[in-house]
Structure 1
Amino acid sequence: MYLENIKVKQFRNYTELDVALSKGINVFIGENAQGKTNLLEAVYVLGMAKSHRTSHDKELIQWGRNYAKIEGKVNKKSGTIPLELTISKKGKKAKANHIERKKLSQYVGLCNVVMFTPDDLQLVKGSPSLRRRFIDMEIGQIQPVYLHRLSQYQKVLEQRNALLKNADGSDRSVQSMLDILTAQMIELAADLVHRRLRFIRLLRDWAADIHQSITDGRERLSMDYRSSVGDVSEDMELSRIKEVYEKAFADVRKKEMERGLTLIGPHRDDLDLAVNDKNVQTYGSQGQQRTTALSLKLAEIELIADEVGEYPLLLLDDVLSELDDVRQTHLLSTFKERVQTIVTTTSVAGIDHEMIREARSYRVKNGEIVETVD
Structure 2
Amino acid sequence: MHLTDLTLVNFRNYDEQTLRLSEHVNVFCGENGQGKTNALEAIALLAIGKSHRTAKDKDLVRWNQEQAVVDGVVEALHGPRRLRLELGASGRKAYVNRVQQTKMTDFVGHFQVVLFAPEDLQLVKGGPKERRRFIDVELGQTQPMYLHHLSNYTRTLAQRNKLLKNGITDDAYLASFDEQLAVYGAHVILRRLRFLTQLQPVAHQVYVDISEGREDFDFRYTSTVPRVSTELSIDDIAEQFARALADRRQMDLRMGYTTVGPHRDDIQLFLNGQDVQSFASQGQQRTIALSLRLAEIDFIYREIGEYPVLLLDDVLSELDDTRQRNLVLSMSRKVQTIITTTSLFHLEHELTSDARLFQVASGIITE
Matches for 1:1-374 after TM superposition, within 5 Å: 1-169=1-169, 172=170, 175-324=171-320, 325-333=322-330, 335-349=331-345, 351=346, 354-356=349-351, 359-371=355-367
Deviation of the 1:353 alpha carbon: 6.3
User: Does the 8 Å CA contact 2:183/2:235 hold for their aligned counterparts?
Assistant: no
- Find the residue that maps to 2:259 and give its secondary structure: coil
State the distance in 2 between where 1:145 and 1:58 align. 29
- Find the residue that maps to 2:125 and give its secondary structure: coil
State the distance in 2 between where 1:31 and 1:148 align. 41
User: Does the 8 Å CA contact 2:183/2:234 hold for their aligned counterparts?
Assistant: no
User: Does the 8 Å CA contact 2:32/2:342 hold for their aligned counterparts?
Assistant: yes
Deviation of the 1:71 alpha carbon: 1.0
State the distance in 1 between where 2:350 and 2:219 align. 32
State the distance in 2 between where 1:268 and 1:292 align. 22
User: Does the 8 Å CA contact 1:125/1:282 hold for their aligned counterparts?
Assistant: no
Normalising by structure 2, what TM-score?
0.95
Q: How large is the Cα RMSD of the aligned pairs?
A: 1.6
- Structure 1 residues 104 and 168: alpha-carbon distance in aligned structure 2, compared to 1, 3 A threshold: closer
User: Does the 8 Å CA contact 2:36/2:340 hold for their aligned counterparts?
Assistant: yes
Please tell me the residue identity of whatever aligns with 2:126. G
Residues 152-192 of structure 1 show CA distances to partners (whole Å, capped at 9, x for unaligned) of: 222222222222112054xx4xx443222222211111110
State the distance in 1 between where 2:284 and 2:100 align. 45
Deviation of the 1:366 alpha carbon: 0.8
State the distance in 2 between where 1:231 and 1:17 align. 52
Deviation of the 1:356 alpha carbon: 4.0
Deviation of the 1:151 alpha carbon: 2.1
User: Does the 8 Å CA contact 1:27/1:356 hold for their aligned counterparts?
Assistant: no
State the distance in 1 between where 2:361 and 2:352 align. 20
Unaligned runs of 5+ in 1: none
Please tell me the residue identity of whatever aligns with 1:355. E
Please tell me the residue identity of whatever aligns with 1:255. M
State the distance in 2 between where 1:13 and 1:139 align. 31
User: Does the 8 Å CA contact 1:348/1:357 hold for their aligned counterparts?
Assistant: no
Unaligned runs of 5+ in 2: none
Question: Which segment is superposed worse, 358-367 or 266-275?
Answer: 358-367
- Find the residue that maps to 1:121 and give its secondary structure: helix
Percent of residue pairs bearing the same amino acid type: 46
State the distance in 1 between where 2:62 and 2:182 align. 41
Residues 166-221 of structure 1 show CA distances to partners (whole Å, capped at 9, x for unaligned) of: 2054xx4xx44322222221111111001101101111121112111112222222
- Structure 1 residues 213 and 262: alpha-carbon distance in aligned structure 2, compared to 1, 3 A threshold: same
Matched positions, count: 365
Please tell me the residue identity of whatever aligns with 2:255. R
State the distance in 2 between where 1:352 and 1:23 align. 18
- Structure 1 residues 176 and 124: alpha-carbon distance in aligned structure 2, compared to 1, 3 A threshold: same
Deviation of the 1:100 alpha carbon: 2.2
State the distance in 1 between where 2:318 and 2:359 align. 21
Normalising by structure 1, what TM-score?
0.93
- Find the residue that maps to 1:14 and give its secondary structure: coil
Question: Which segment is superposed worse, 24-33 or 309-318?
Answer: 24-33
